[in-house]
Structure 1
Amino acid sequence: MQSSNPVLTGRNSFTYFNPNQQGGYATDAYGYQTANGYTPQPQQVTGRMTIDDVITKTAILMLTLVAAAGVSWILLPATMLYPVAIAGSLVAFVTVFIVSMRHKVSVPGVFAYAIIEGLMLGAWSKIFESLYPGLVLQAVIGTFIAAFVVLGAYQFLGARVRGRIAKIVTVSIIAYAVMSLINLMLIFAGVNLGWAAIGASAGPLSWISAGLGVVLAAASLLMDFDAIEQGVRTGAPDSESWRGAFGLLVTMVWLYTTLLRILSFFRN
């Protein structure tokens, strides 16, 4: 099954395709052609995607992101925090679509995203920490707890986002991203809708947007897990491990930034 997560699909999916076979038949996880009328024959297939590969590459990207965040946290002066945070958000937004829509995953593009996102997160985190001391650590802990809860629901409770629900979630994620981008443009124009407000004075619209963001991020994480598992099962090439790691990183960053906002609602 192909994931509905826009980060993990784009022009590609985790279905393994063997171009060396006549007619370019798709193959199953054991290297057998699945075309009608063909008698399956075993063949040597190497370089398959594995769960361990995805975990390792996700950890590498996370460390890259944290290192970049540390650079902006430590080295950026206070006057540069907002410019870097806003510019980094826009560049990272564009980078996500560029990387996810490529037919073949771009490893340099994935690392570029991790670095850009890290610089942006370091700036935003320092801003939040200066306003609400201790909030960043709470958000980091909350992000990993939420991720493990979602993983537990996927692994042990059979929670899945598929079919029509997956399509609804995908459209909602795109609409949410577009709305956030429009809100940012309006802020530049001097109009504040309250969509991304923070702190105890945040209005109902900000509460709704933050709550919706957490729900969509959790659903996206379920689709990430499902797509990675399907990729391993169908024998996707090992290069697709980077796509799986990239999808997890994007979702985790979204979950973290949303939790930052939600936690700020309870602080003066």
Structure 2
Amino acid sequence: MQSNNPVFRRSEEFNRPGTNAYGNQTYAGNGAPYAGYGDPATWSTGTPGVPGAQPPTTVQQPMTIDSVVVKTAISLAVVIVAAAITWVMSPTVDQNSDPSALSGLIAALTIGSLGAFILSMVNSFKRVISPALVLAFCAFEGVALGGISKMFNMWYPGVVPAAVIGTFGAFAGTLAVYKFFDIKVSTRFRTMVIAAMFGMVGISLFAVVLSLFGVNLGIFDNGALGLIFAVVGLALGVFMLVLDFDFVEQGIANQIPDREGWRAAFALTVSLVWIYTNLLRILAILRGN
């Protein structure tokens, strides 16, 4: 199952050769035991100390839906705890607060965003997924979300709880639609979603760089362009969830190693954070208008 998603593309387990029912490449054996394990009756460890002796074969536990749920829950818990700590430990602010009070939130937002971005790139292109790096990403992401959520709550009281509820509602709704309509993800759909995601990230970074030189593209403002950009981002986040569900489903069917559940958890966390931030912006713009 060759993937266009950078999160899964670097995983050797997600890119074993073969073809599935959708016409896409998938793992060897299509759910059968891994090649090389064979019939347990034929296993042999050889004689210790004898040249050519075969080492014992270790069978890895396959990924299951339960393991993915647990790992995703742990990842989201780290995000939520880090965000809560950032919210509580940072100074209380309101629209009349001294600019120095906002500096702490801005620092948390900057450090968290940079750390999360760097670790997201590392996790996306790392062949062997590292649970520690996934959880480190979640911690930095939580710090960034805690800072930005507190700032939005200062400007638009009440939008943060609404955005949180809306995010989990989007997750549940997307999962229900995916299972009820038995959605099949094509290679073309994957390519379009990933291209759009990189496009939005590129435009956002370009806008940030231009803002340093006093040029404002307006995509982060509360005007019509900002609302359109946020709505497109929200829709893209939902499509990213569909890709995540598809990879989890096929990974379980093909019995990939349990450690790959951390890669799935990382992808799901990224999608949920993406949806939350765009939904937060949409609610703030609508509140402002």
TM-score band (shorter)?
0.7 to 0.9
Residue in 2 aligned with 1:186? 210
CA contact (8 A) 1:48 1:237 kept: yes
Structure 2 CA distance for aligned equivalents of residues 60 and 186 of structure 1: 37
Cα distance change on mapping 1:13 and 1:70 into 2, 3 Å = same
Instruction: Work out whether 1:68 is the aligned partner of 2:82.
Output: yes
Moved more, 90-99 or 118-127: 90-99
Structure 2 CA distance for aligned equivalents of residues 161 and 258 of structure 1: 24
The CA deviation string for residues 95-139 of structure 1, in whole angstroms up to 9 with x for no partner, is: 111111011001111011000000000000000001111110000
Instruction: Tell me the secondary structure at the aligned position of residue 195 of structure 1.
Output: coil
Aligned residues with identical type, % of pairs = 39
Instruction: Work out whether 1:218 is the aligned partner of 2:238.
Output: yes
Could you say which structure has the greater relative contact order, defined with CA pairs below 8 angstroms and 6 or more residues apart?
1
Deviation at 1:212, TM superposition (A): 1.2
Identify which of 14, 29, 32 aligns with 2:31. 29
Residue in 2 aligned with 1:22? none
CA contact (8 A) 1:16 1:235 kept: no
Count of residues in Structure 1 that have an aligned counterpart in Structure 2: 252
Identify which of 121, 146, 167 aligns with 2:191. 167
RMSD: 2.1
Structure 1 CA distance for aligned equivalents of residues 240 and 13 of structure 2: 16
Larger radius of gyration: 2
Residue in 2 aligned with 1:207? 227
Instruction: Work out whether 1:155 is the aligned partner of 2:179.
Output: yes
Query: Can you give the 5+ residue segments of structure 1 that lack an aligned partner in the other structure?
Result: 18-24, 35-39
Cα distance change on mapping 1:84 and 1:258 into 2, 3 Å = same
Structure 2 CA distance for aligned equivalents of residues 16 and 3 of structure 1: 10
Residue in 1 aligned with 2:156? 132
Q: Quick one: which amino acid aligns to residue 220 of structure 2?
A: A
Deviation at 1:146, TM superposition (A): 0.6
Structure 2 CA distance for aligned equivalents of residues 90 and 10 of structure 1: 22
Instruction: Tell me the secondary structure at the aligned position of residue 8 of structure 2.
Output: coil
Deviation at 1:45, TM superposition (A): 4.0
Residue in 2 aligned with 1:7? 7
Instruction: Work out whether 1:260 is the aligned partner of 2:265.
Output: no
Structure 1 CA distance for aligned equivalents of residues 111 and 204 of structure 2: 14
Structure 2 CA distance for aligned equivalents of residues 238 and 16 of structure 1: 16
Cα distance change on mapping 1:161 and 1:27 into 2, 3 Å = closer
Identify which of 68, 76, 88 aligns with 1:54. 68
CA contact (8 A) 2:13 2:257 kept: no
CA contact (8 A) 1:69 1:122 kept: yes
The CA deviation string for residues 38-93 of structure 1, in whole angstroms up to 9 with x for no partner, is: xx944584411111000000001111111100111011233211222133223212
Deviation at 1:32, TM superposition (A): 5.4
Query: Can you give the 5+ residue segments of structure 2 that lack an aligned partner in the other structure?
Result: 18-26, 41-57, 92-101
Structure 1 CA distance for aligned equivalents of residues 255 and 226 of structure 2: 43
Structure 1 CA distance for aligned equivalents of residues 201 and 213 of structure 2: 19
Structure 1 CA distance for aligned equivalents of residues 243 and 157 of structure 2: 34
Q: TM-score, normalization: structure 1?
A: 0.87
Instruction: Tell me the secondary structure at the aligned position of residue 14 of structure 1.
Output: helix
Moved more, 218-227 or 88-97: 88-97
CA contact (8 A) 1:54 1:242 kept: yes
